Every structure is written in C-alpha cells, then in structure tokens.
A and B are shown apart, each in its own frame.
Chain A
Amino acid sequence: MATAPRFWRENPSRYNLVGVECHNCGRHFFPPRSICPVCHRKSVGKMEKVKLKGEGKIFSLTEVQESPEEISMQKPYVLAMVELVEGARVSGQVIDCDACDLEIGTPVRVTLRKLSEEGPSGIIHYGYKFVPLKEKAP
C-alpha cells in the first residue's frame, strides 16, 4: 500500500485542479508538466501553474460496474473524460446524478469528494469529481 506522501504531494491538483499554462503557446495542461509537448524547449521555464476553472463538457463517458476494491462502495459510478473550458481534458467521476441523464456534451463542474480510503484505519484520499451543471434559466 502506498504511503501518504505519494498522494499528498499531488493535493493542489487533486483538490483544486491546478494545471499549467504554456506561456509560449497559451495551451493548458493538466496535471502540471514542465515541458510543453508542442513548444518543447521553447517552453522550458515558461510553464506556469494555474488553477483551472473546473468547468467543461463530457467528452466521453461510461458507467463502471466492476471497480477496484477500495471504491466498490461507489459502484456503479460514472467515469467521464471531461473537456475543460481551457482545452485540457481530465478523467473523473460524475456524481450526484443518474447515468441515464448524462450524454456526450453534458456540461459539468468540478467538486471535491472522497476518492478512496486505505481501509478503515488508513488515509482517506480526497480529490476532484464532477457534477452536472444545471443549465441556468435564460
């Protein structure tokens, strides 16, 4: 079982979707990386950490019926690939909704939930999940 630091060091991105922006081309990436895959060497030193807004649309989705043991209590859950407004894509659960109400293109917003816990005495991991964004009435 992993020790606490492996998870802990990623908390800024897990809690607050901290990614990076390449100041050479303006592209956003999540999680942070130190080299832009488009600009290569020109991006070194120009990758700045930014908090992504956490809003986006479902790019693809699936309802997971067979899950890792430590999250089996959450089954079945919806896993989606979310395209954020900044352009980066992330994988995460979509919660507090019925799977049948979701489709490709459904707008979602980030929230924070328990991801998993290391048994009854271990660390509890928290991180991002998504909830469907209710369309505001015009």
Chain B
Amino acid sequence: MEVGIVSYGAYVPRYRITPEEIGKVWGVDGKSMSKGLMISCKSVPSPEEDTITISVEAARNMMRRCEVNPKDIGAIYVGSESHPYAVKPSGTIVAEAIEAAPHLTVADFEFACKAGTAAIQTCMGLVGSGMIKYGVAIGADTSQGAPGDALEYSASAGGAAFLIGAEKTIATIDHTYSYTTDTPDFWRREGQMYPRHGGRFTGEPAYFKHVISGAKGLLERTNTTAKDYTYAVFHQPNGKFPTRVAKQLGFADLQLTTGLLAPTIGNTYSGAVPLGLAAILDEAKPGDRIFAVAYGSGAGSDAFAITVTNEIDSYPRHKAPSVKDLNSNLKFLDYATYAKFRGKIMLGSE
C-alpha cells in the first residue's frame, strides 16, 4: 500500500508587519535585522483568528480540492504550539467544521515547530496499517514572540492541512525518518504567554544538529543524494537557517526557493514545513521528488521523501487558494495595531 497525500490546503492570514516597523519601537536597526534573518515581513493573525480558525481554513481548502466524503476521515491531528486551549482539543472543532465528526479519533499534538509533521507520520501509520481510510494532519500556529525579543521579528501565523490516504494520492510519502534528543533550546512553561529560548544555543546544537542528522539519516536510508530531488523544504525559523542547512547538505538554491516562505511570511512554527510543502505541491509535476525536514525545539526532526504522482495532473488545485494567492491581498500593520491584534496591550478591566 502506497501511503501518501490525497489532498492539501493552506492558510495564511493577510496581515503583515515588517522588521523595520518592529525595530523602530525597540530601538533596533530593523533593516539589518531583516537582512540578517532574511525576513522582509511576517504574517500576523487578526484578533478573530487563532490556531483553530487557521486549521479550519486549511482543512476546508484541503476538502475543496477532493471528492472525499468527510465521514471517511478516521483521524484528525492538529499540531501546534499555540492551541487556544491548554485543555480542550483544537481538533474537535476542525472535525465538526469539515463534518468529519463523530466517528473518528482526534488529538492535538505539540512538539514545538514539528507537531504538524508528527501528525503526518501518525496518519501514515494509521492509514498504512489499515486502521483508517483517511487521516488529516494539520500543522498550524499563531506563534508569539515577547515584545522586544528577537523572536518578535519572525514569529508569525499560518498553517496547512494534508489528507493522508492510500488511494488517488497526488504524492506518495516514500520514507520518513526522525531524529530526537533532549535538547532544551526553546520552551514555554504552562500558563506562560511567551516562550523563552537559549539564544545562540538554538543554532548549532539544536536546529543545525537535528536538521542535518535527520536529513542525512533519510538520505542514507533511501540511498539518495540532494541531486535526486526536485524540491527541498526545511524548517525555517528565518530565511537564513534553511538556506545554510541546504548548502551544507548540497541542495541548490533552485531546489529551495519554492518552499522557502520565511522571507515573506515569517516563522509559522508548526505551519512552516507544511506550508512549504503546500507551496511546492502548488506547482509540482508528476515525478517530481520532494525532500522535507521539519524541526521542533526540544528537540527533534522529521524528514520525508515524497514523490509526486500522475494524479496531480487531474487534481483540481485551483479549487482552493495557492500559497501564492494567500501571500497577496496583504495589509501591512503598524506596531500599535500589531500589538493590539496580538493581545500585547494590557486592558483595563471593570
């Protein structure tokens, strides 16, 4: 049984803010910040959006592109580090909103930025074992950076949903490999509004070690090299890290460009690799091979080798907005509005 992606859908809020605008408030040279991070702007959710609404948008876009009966969906997993409820699943609302309830299993995942890809792996197992016909894996976030913190220049919002199944797959997931250690580079304690991080510790021993180990592990196990792939997408906390990691692994810029969204959308955390993958599927052709490595702080990586099938030619991509479409009709915010949107302003209470 060839398990793969039957359909997919993406969603990114229309609001954006630039590092220059954020830097202006904190006395930071936003221009060089923007250049250093390779982020020209980041997406911002409106006050009426959260991980649940983003997940629903992505899941509905996914359903618009296929004829699958929602009642045939046996599992929904929403991966996020910004579930609106600490206790009460996001996935149940998604299940009701796409009319998949009640005969299915639902759970929320959290593994920093790779909870969405963990959800894909779980669905692969359930579909592959024959336990379910279809599973929905969603990676979505409305990540927060504390005011003035380095994360504030990148932490953004967005997500993508994948319908995992074994029939009429537009892309098969040929192999997946994960690499996991206990590495506290970034965390958020229960009840805390903003995450904390280990500064430069998030780089070499965390992101780079795990992404490269995950990537190499997958290349070895599939007996492939960078040149065998048409596209590559890596977790992208900014534009710089994935570019560097791609170079180290021997991927060329051309393979990376399509799935590299951080420069215009920012770091969508659990949404990052799923959105990158969605952007690639927006233009992929039969036979194209995709190499994807997600990274989650804490820390681990999930690597995937994917092959696009002939189904993609008859797959109605146009029935839902492409990632490019979602990156148009933008509205840029000033910092004050951004702070209001993100709940960073303390309100007087009665």
Q: List A residues at the B interface (Cβ < 8 Å).
A: 11-12, 15-16, 51, 73-74, 95-96, 98, 111-115, 124, 126, 129
Contacts and interface: CB of A to CB of B under 8 A. Distances in A.
B78 interface: no
A111 B13 CA distance: 13
Contact of B53 (A11, A12, A51, A126): A126
A114 B53 contact: yes
Contacts of B99: 16, 51
Contacts of B97: 15-16, 112, 126
Nearest to A117: B84
Interface string B31-74: 00000000000000011111011001100100000000000000
Contact of A114 (B50, B57, B329): B50
A128 B97 CA distance: 10
Chain A CB within 10 Å — which of B48, B60, B331 has the most?
B48
Q: Which of A15, A16, A74 has the most CB of B within 10 A?
A: A15
Contacts of B340: 73
Contacts, number: 49
B48 to A, nearest CB: 4
Nearest to A136: B318
B96 interface: yes
Contacts of A96: 14, 46, 329
B226 interface: no
B46 A112 contact: no
Contacts of B46: 74, 95-96
Interface in B310-350: 329, 331, 340-341, 343
B49 A114 contact: yes
A112 B56 CA distance: 7
B96 A15 contact: yes
A113 B85 contact: no
Given A73-B340, A96-B14, A126-B93, A113 B84 contact: no
Contacts of B48: 74, 95, 113-115, 129
